[in-house]
Amino acid sequence: MTAKTEHRDHSEHPAARLEVEDGVGTIRLDRPPMNALDVAMQDLLRDLAGEATRREDVRAVVIYGGEKVFAAGADIKEMREMDHAAMVVRSRGLQEAFTAVARIPKPVVAAVTGYALGGGCELALCADIRIAGERAKLGQPEILLGLIPGAGGTQRLSRLVGPAKAKDLIFTGRQVRAAEAHEIGLVDRVVPDAEVYEQAAAWAAQLARGPALALRAAKESIDFGLETDIETGLAIERNWFAGLFATEDRETGMRSFVEEGPGKATFR
């Protein structure tokens, strides 16, 4: 899919941008050679996530770093200059930027090529599913710097693959190839490298044609439900479920089912 409509540039040569076509918004990382996630790029990701959330012409989102690399982590040279006081201030902004991506109320897929390490892996964890190329490598190597993941890795990774596997990756800092990442549930699909973006965009395009409010309800019910006890989660589900009976999409879907059979509704 070739993107046609771009958002306003945050700079003359933005390190990331939002490209939109046929309901699919691609957040494209573009900071050669490794898409290092410096402070400016973190803030830009937060802004782009907000834009993808607000824009009605964006119905699903792909996060993509290009054909060679997703994102190889934070900008270590920049981080080395920060002392404790500076990072106390910055760490909140770092997490808020990634949380803004995780909270996009629309289906989000990470199209992972090459390296997704450190902050790059944490960014992929913010998506709803991850499609990786055969030669992709993922990991949380912060321990090798005397650190731990700081953009959500200790929390999102353990929720995704379980605490034991998360501790293995975080304690050792080792990188895993796509096949192992798929085996442990870190990625959901492994495809030829040349097909990563195409398949991610196809997944997003399929959902972009779906009922937007119902998709939002499903995502928020799952995500917020996992952060609380089951009774509260059931209440979240119940409220969304009943609320959808007030939508045009619900009427469209049920009418189509009765008159034409399942799976034929066209949602506006």
Q: How far is C-alpha 37 from the chain's CA centre?
A: 15
Question: Cα separation of 33 and 31, whole Å?
Answer: 6
Q: Interior CA angle at 122 toward 120 and 127, to 5°?
A: 100
**Cβ-contact 66, 72 below 8 angstroms:** no
Greatest alpha-carbon span in the chain: 65
Which residue among 72, 74, 116, 218 is the active-site one? 74
CB contact set of 137 (below 8 Å; sequence gap of 6+): 114, 115, 116, 117, 175, 176, 177, 178
**Cβ-contact 82, 90 below 8 angstroms:** yes
Task: Establish whether 142 is a catalytic residue.
Answer: yes
Which residue among 23, 122, 152, 204 is the active-site one? 122
**Cβ-contact 152, 91 below 8 angstroms:** no
Task: Establish whether 78 is a catalytic residue.
Answer: no
Question: Cα separation of 114 and 175, whole Å?
Answer: 12
Which residue among 139, 142, 212, 265 is the active-site one? 142
Task: Establish whether 237 is a catalytic residue.
Answer: no
End-to-end CA distance of the chain: 22
Task: Establish whether 3 is a catalytic residue.
Answer: no
Which residue among 23, 65, 119, 153 is the active-site one? 119
**Cβ-contact 48, 18 below 8 angstroms:** yes
Q: Name the residues annotated as catalytic.
A: 74, 119, 122, 142
